[in-house]
Amino acid sequence: MRGSDLLKTTPAGLYCAAGNFHIDPLRPVKRALITHGHSDHARAGHDSVLATHETLAIMAARCGAEFAGTTQTAAYGERISIDGLTVSFHPAGHVLGSAQICIESKGLRVVISGDYKTMRDPTCAPFELVPCDVFISEATFGLPVFRHPDAAHEIARLIDSCRLFPERAHLVGAYSLGKAQRIMALVREAGWERPIYIHGTMEKLTRLYESEGIDLGEIVRVTGPERPKLGGEIVICPPSALQELWSRRFHEPVPAFASGWMRVRARARQRGVELPLVISDHADWDELCETVLATGCSELWVTHGEEDALVHWATGQGLAARPLHLIGYGEEEVEDLEPEKPAGEAGPALI
């Protein structure tokens, strides 16, 4: 048995014929196993969905309770059998409820990591290393220029800037699932006791995090008349809001942006960001390399991102490595660059 007997790439994404299920499918399928709640991985309209309890809650919050025909909860570590295969979900450290999916069949172990990071994140379960034969990794930051610094250092820069420009609101663009709540938690750890303000679109998911027992301190939704008065305060908003009329109601705001892309100056400048914060929920180059080696895998498949460099490196390490060129993932990290995408459009190549 080989990895390629177990999993194939199809226009709908990775497909396991033996179990007749897709993983993070890009279009509606009969049976979907979903790694985490980001919109490029967790789409509505499948007949049945198997995911962690938190991921199911996030999908319901994002797409409405009717997002799938039936749902089934997978607890971390629970062994679930599907048509003679064993499937299990393990923490990926990416966002709340995020999981790597392990498929075992006749002594072969394949791990689909979904999106993951091994750096500390107070808002989700830490990444668990699952030894395997075939490791399927993303490579959003698969270039050695991407080395994320300690997130606490970046948060300290944000807080310093609030002190330096006490008359200017600090608008922190952050993806509304995961990144936003992680920043809130980190800001609290840095000793910030004032309320943290949020854009209205962040409220639902933030409350969901709180209801899952994550303490974020006092979180206040920004109202219109308040905006000009928030000098020196931290306001978290979706990245696209930095360019919208919404942000102009603040007095001379400092546009900040929390993303791994901020490591590259041109990316920050392209967005008019004045305070780039290099904080990412994806593994950086060093984490990717360390994780691949630590799994002990003999085969590496790379789903999306900067796959060429990671494949080159892995080949040099003696691994059988190949890119899958999957199209349609990675949107959450580029979401900020693509403000208006018609709903349901996965990517032009699929049309």
Partner 1 sequence: MNRLAELLDRLSFEPSRNNKLRLMTDYFRSTPDPERGYALAALTGALAFQHAKPGLIRALISERVDPTLFYMSYDYVGDLSETVALLWPEPAKDEAGVGHNRPPLALSEVVTTLATSGKLHLPSILARWLDQLDEIGRWALLKLITGSLRVGVSARLAKTAVGDLGGKEPNEIEEVWHGLAPPYIDLFAWVEGREARPEATDPAPFRPPMLAHPIEEPDLAALNPEDFSAEWKWDGIRMQVVAGHDANGKRVLRMFSRTGEENTHAFPDLAEALAHLPAQDFAIDGELLILREGRVQPFSVLQQRLNRKTVSAKHLADFPAYVRAYDLLSLNGEDLRPLAFRDRRKRLEAFVAAANEPRLDLSPLVHFKTWEELAAARADPASAGAEADAAAVEGVMLKRVDSIYVPGRPKGPWYKWKRDPFNVDAVMMYAQRGHGKRSSFYSDYTFGVWRDGESGDELVPVGKAYSGITDEELARLDRYVRNHTINRFGPVREVEYNSDKGLVLEIAFEGINWSSRHKSGIALRFPRINRIRWDKPPKDADRIGVLEALLKEREPA
Count the Cβ atoms, other than its own, within 10 Å of residue 115: 30
The answer to whether 233 touches 162, Cβ cutoff 8 Å, is yes
Which lies closer to Zn ion via its Cβ, residue 37 or residue 253?
Answer: 37
Among 70, 270, 298, 317, binds partner 1 (CB under 8 A): 270
Q: Does residue 306 bind partner 1 (CB under 8 A)? A: yes
Q: How far is the CB of 298 from partner 1 (least distance, A)?
A: 21
Q: Does residue 340 bind partner 1 (CB under 8 A)? A: yes
Q: Does residue 154 bind Zn ion (CB under 5 A)? A: no
Considering CB distances under 5 to 8 angstroms, the limit depending on partner class, which of Zn ion, partner 1, none binds residue 347? partner 1
Considering CB distances under 5 to 8 angstroms, the limit depending on partner class, which of Zn ion, partner 1, none binds residue 38? Zn ion
Q: How far apart are CA 51 and CA 37, in angstroms?
A: 9
Which neighbouring-strand residues pair with 198?
A: 221, 236
Among 17, 75, 156, 334, binds partner 1 (CB under 8 A): 334
Q: Does residue 167 bind partner 1 (CB under 8 A)? A: no
Which lies closer to partner 1 via its Cβ, residue 293 or residue 337?
Answer: 337
Kindly state the number of chain residues that form the binding site for Zn ion, as judged by CB under 5 A: 4
Looking at residues 230 to 269 of the shown chain, list those that interact with partner 1 (rule: CB under 8 A). Answer: 252, 263-269
Q: How far apart are CA 46 and CA 141, in angstroms?
A: 30
Q: Does residue 313 bind partner 1 (CB under 8 A)? A: yes
Among 272, 298, 317, 320, binds partner 1 (CB under 8 A): 272
Which range binds Zn ion by CB under 5 A, 12-20, 115-123, 184-192, 209-217?
Answer: 115-123
Q: Does residue 31 bind Zn ion (CB under 5 A)? A: no
Token pair for 145: 């220029």
Q: Which residue has the tokens 């993806």?
A: 175
Q: How far is the CB of 309 from Zn ion (least distance, A)?
A: 18
Among 54, 104, 115, 154, binds Zn ion (CB under 5 A): 115
Q: Does residue 335 bind Zn ion (CB under 5 A)? A: no
Q: Does residue 348 bind partner 1 (CB under 8 A)? A: yes
Length of the chain: 351
